[in-house]
C-alpha cells in the first residue's frame, strides 16, 4: 500500500478531513495513478479529493525519473487547467477548490502525496456519455 492509499482519517491543510475512499463506479474514468477520497471541510462542504500516487513511479521497472516526470507533469497540468477553468467562470465544469501536499512520515520524502480537492460531481464524463446513450 502506497502513501496515497493511507490518507483516511487525516486532517489536511485548510482543515479538510479525509473521511474515506470514494466509491468508484465500474466504468469510471481515471484513477490509474490516483486515489479518490471523500473529504469534509469544517464549514460543512463535502468534496472529492484526488491523491496522486507516486509510489508506482518510484518502483517503475522502466525509468523512475521518467515515470515521476510524467506523473508530476500530469498533476501540474490538471491543477493549472482547474485554475484556468475557475478563472473563466465556466458553469458546467467541476472546479478544484483546494490543493496541497501531505507528508505522512516527516522523515520519509517518499511518503509525500500531492492532492487536488474538487467540488463533488454527479458523475464523470464516461457516466455522462453512458446516460446520454441510453
In DSSP notation, 50-113 reads EEE--HHHHT-SS-HHHHHHHHHHHHHHHHHHHHHHHHTT-SSSPPEEEEEEEESSTT-GGGEE
Residue in the block written with cell 480537492: 117
Mean pLDDT calculated for residue range 4-11: 95
pLDDT at 119 over 90: no
Q: What is the residue-averaged pLDDT of the chain?
A: 80
Q: Which residue has the higher pLDDT, 55 or 7?
A: 7
Neighbouring residues of 15: CB distance < 8 A, sequence distance ≥ 6? 41, 42
pLDDT at 46 over 90: yes
pTM value is 0.74
Amino acid at each position: 500500500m502506497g502513501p496515497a492509499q493511507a490518507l483516511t482519517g487525516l486532517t489536511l491543510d485548510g482543515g479538510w478531513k479525509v473521511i474515506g475512499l470514494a466509491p468508484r463506479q465500474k466504468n469510471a474514468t481515471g484513477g490509474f495513478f490516483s486515489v479518490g477520497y471523500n473529504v469534509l471541510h469544517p464549514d460543512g462542504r463535502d468534496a472529492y479529493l484526488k491523491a496522486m500516487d507516486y509510489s508506482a513511479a518510484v518502483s517503475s521497472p522502466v525509468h523512475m525519473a521518467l515515470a515521476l516526470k510524467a506523473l508530476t507533469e500530469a498533476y501540474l497540468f490538471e491543477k493549472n487547467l482547474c485554475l484556468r477553468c475557475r478563472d473563466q467562470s465556466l458553469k458546467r465544469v467541476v472546479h478544484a477548490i483546494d490543493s496541497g501536499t501531505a507528508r505522512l512520515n516527516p522523515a520519509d520524502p517518499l511518503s509525500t502525496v500531492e492532492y487536488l480537492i474538487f467540488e463533488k460531481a454527479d458523475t464523470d464524463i464516461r457516466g455522462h456519455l453512458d446516460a446520454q446513450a441510453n
